[in-house]
Structure 1
Amino acid sequence: MQLRLLRRWRFGLLLVVPVAIASFPSPAAAQTVTYQVKFEGNWTLASTPGGVVGGAHFTTLIGGVHGSGVTFWAAGEQASAGVELVAELGSTPTFRSEVQASSHTLSVIQEGVAGGGTGTATFNIDVTTTHPLVTLLSMIGPSPDWFVGVSGVSLLDGSNQWRESHVVDLFPYDAGTEDGTEFTLSNDDTDPQGVITRIAGTGKFSNVRMARLTFTRTTPPPPPPTPSVSLSASPNPVDEGQPVTVTAQLSEVLANSVTIPLELTAGSAEAGDFGALASITISGGRTTGTGTIPTVDDADTDDETFTVSLGTLPAEVTAGNPSSVEVTIRDGDEKPVPPTPSVSLAVSPNPVDEGQPVTVTARLSETLANSVTIPLELTAGSAEA
């Protein structure tokens, strides 16, 4: 790349700069926790047994807080232009721009290290449940392209809980961009460019850490959400005269027992059609509790309903979904079937004089709401048609 064709005049002179953390908008629902971060250099004869070079130092820490959708550097991958400039020059602007450009970045971290090879830096960062990862780089100066850092270290543990503290020992990496085996600057480019490689235990370095990062949570994590309680009923519909079981279910286990108040409201049922259930107790360590409501076998012939709702809840729980359930009482009585009206016939006068008309009357046993037509059949007896 063009950057690597330029001659580099370097002095490793990046000393102490004020902390600069640029923040980007984060999701409103994300939980925010603050950590104190402490960098401690350990460039000693233990980490470089051949000696500690004059002017040994760690350059400005540069990186960011981000989500899992981005990786800014990784062992086995080629260094970006920004990583190359940090590793070879201690120069931060390009890598800073790379971190800022990602939509997965929550904030940019830039912090000077004071005190040479055993220098320190202490600063605070904010992380969220959606952006719990930290990436940082610092050049081992002077050197060809050697650096220490972390890539996407998470401050959430394996149970997705915030760590109280987290210590990461930092070992040297070669950026794969410049040749050289000594603590010197202005070496030839690596051609073709290599990949980022851990170099602890090789060349100038022992297997002793070059530095350490300690993350300490300074604010307590947000309290866990209050468990919710929801209701269900079974059987539903319930046969008239049989009990219905109401279940109250918690979204999370509570250590102590909790009593869930209930309210029963008549719908099409009357108050005397069902019994009472004032509350349900859920024992500590369990998520469900039950209670029964009797129903009355009455003379009514229609299905009836009533509603069971959550009452005024204790502080330990909130209303979940559903917070009420309508119960149907299924009627078991047979409804009387009204008789079908009958029709009868009468004629007048009878007998009728020859040549005179006869009137036929159709009479119903019950009145009908609508008109009805009664068909007739006339059959000859001794008369001819």
Structure 2
Amino acid sequence: MMSSEHLTCGWLERLLFLLVKLCLTFAVPFRPAPNGTDCTAKGPASYILVFTGHWSPQAFPKQYPLFRPPAQWSKLIAVSHNNHFRLWEEGTTASLGVQNFAELGVTVEVMKTAKEARKKRVVGAMYRTAGIPNGIGHSSTEMLLQPRNSLVSLMVKMIPSPDWFVGVNSLNLCEGNQWKQDVTVDLHPYDAGTDSGFTFSSPNFPTNPKENVTKITSQIPNHPANSFYYPRLKELPPLASVKFTRQSRSGDRQTLMSNHILPNSIIPRHFSATPLDCEVSLWSSWGLCLGPCSRGGVRHRTRYILLRPANAGTPCPELEEQAECLPHSCRKRQ
């Protein structure tokens, strides 16, 4: 015969089991927002995207590409999506599509990836603009964003460069139940981590294994040969910018702008010139001592200019130096 103590424990165990089962039955499971962006706007929004290049020899005088090819921008690729998609992301390894675009400007692979993601409803639409044949210029396109895909990512390759680009990663143009009216983002250069070149015109030298996508700054990479190495600057001036302007739903909507042409209402910003200090080589070895041995000879050494100064940068120092040498080391005249 079971004791009262055993009966009490059995009832407690059964009661606990029933309570757990009841909680599991009626509990509301956690589900993320269906669109992955928490945008609750009632309808879509139309935007004009304007990309502006600020890559000028005044703002970026070091090794500025003047020919073969001159500084220019590739076509722009943009994708509207939700939180379950990434076109590119700092601190992660570039996909094959991002690598092909950052190195060669080829969009086939990256657009293929976006199309596959569109079938899963994590990508809304894809957009492209023509390239810009100069470092300074504009391109534009119209975008239609849905609440379920209110994030925008884009990339533009720098030409020439090893694998450098500017871009936006997952910019949300919706806040709560409202679409944002105007958003402007300054763009800075990124290294895709797939080519090890230091300069704009570096030959192809694959990075193996790939490194993560990293932001290029005035001191990173910390090497004088780097085309963006400006140690006097705390940060680089914006290399480009992108502006999103929401269009009215009424009949007076603006006409889609042609590439490289801006209406008078949009004025490109101007940035102060970046000072570029002179860079010189190391001194050569001292030459032979020449002159009358009785009074001691004179010897010379030289150096040459690696990079001429620009925009009120530090001027070049003396390129030749002489010093006296001891009588016993001078060369006697014949």
TM-score, structure 1 as length reference: 0.48
The one-letter amino acid paired with 1:37 is L
| 1:32 matched residue in structure 2 | 44
> Of 83, 92, 115, which aligns to 1:68?
83
Q: Say which of 214, 218, 224 aligns to 2:247.
A: 218
Where do 5+ consecutive residues of structure 1 fail to align? 1-28, 222-385
1:60 alignment partner, SS class: strand
Q: Residue 79 of structure 1 aligns with which residue? A: 94
Task: Give 1:68's aligned amino acid.
Answer: N
How many pairs are equivalent?
192
Q: Give the corresponding residue for 2:268.
A: none
Match of 1:126 in 2: 144
Kept in 2, the 8 Å contact 1:113–1:120? The answer is: no
The alpha carbon displacement at 1:119 in A equals: 2.3
Q: Distance in 1 between the 2:85 and 2:136 partners?
A: 31
For 1:66 and 1:148, locate their aligned partners in 2 and report how far apart those are by CA, in whole Å.
19
Q: Which has the higher Rg, Structure 1 or Structure 2?
A: 1
Cα distance in 1, alignment partners of residues 64 and 74 from structure 2: 16
Q: What letter corresponds to residue 53 of structure 1 in structure 2?
A: P
Matched, 1:138 2:153: no
d(CA) in 2 for partners of 1:141 and 1:47?
A: 17
**Partner residue, 1:166:** 183
Task: Find the aligned partners of 1:32 and 1:170 in 2 and give their Cα distance.
Answer: 26
Identical pairs, percent? 31
Q: Distance in 2 between matches of 1:106 and 1:139?
A: 23
Please state if 1:148 is matched with 2:160: no
Counterpart check, 1:57 vs 2:72: yes
Q: Any idea what the Cα deviations from partners look like across 1:203-231, whole Å, max 9, x if unmatched?
A: 3226111110000001259xxxxxxxxxx
Q: How is 1:112-261 mapped onto 2 (pairs within 5 angstroms)?
A: 112-157=130-175, 159-184=176-201, 186-202=203-219, 203-205=226-228, 207-220=236-249
CA distance in 2, matches of 1:46, 1:220: 41
2:5 corresponds to which residue? none
* Aligned counterpart, 2:53: 41
> Structure 1 residue runs of 4+, over 4 Å off?
none
> How many angstroms apart in 1 are the aligned matches of 2:74 and 2:155?
9
Q: Compare the two structures and name the one with the higher strand fraction.
A: 1
More helix per residue: 2
In the alignment, the residues of structure 1 paired with residue 92 and residue 42 of structure 2 have an alpha-carbon distance, to the nearest angstrom, of 31
Change (3 A) 1:30 1:70: farther
Shift of 1:114: 2.7
- Alpha carbon RMSD of aligned pairs, Å? 1.8
Q: What displacement does 1:52 show?
A: 2.0
What CA distance in whole angstroms lies between the structure 1 residues aligned with 2:172 and 2:74?
23
1:44 is displaced (CA, Å) by: 1.3
The question of 1:106 aligning with 2:124 is answered yes
Does the CA-based 8 Å contact 2:127-2:141 persist in structure 1? no
| 1:89 paired residue among 99, 104, 108 | 104
185 and 160 in structure 1: CA distance in 2 versus 1, 3 angstrom threshold:
farther
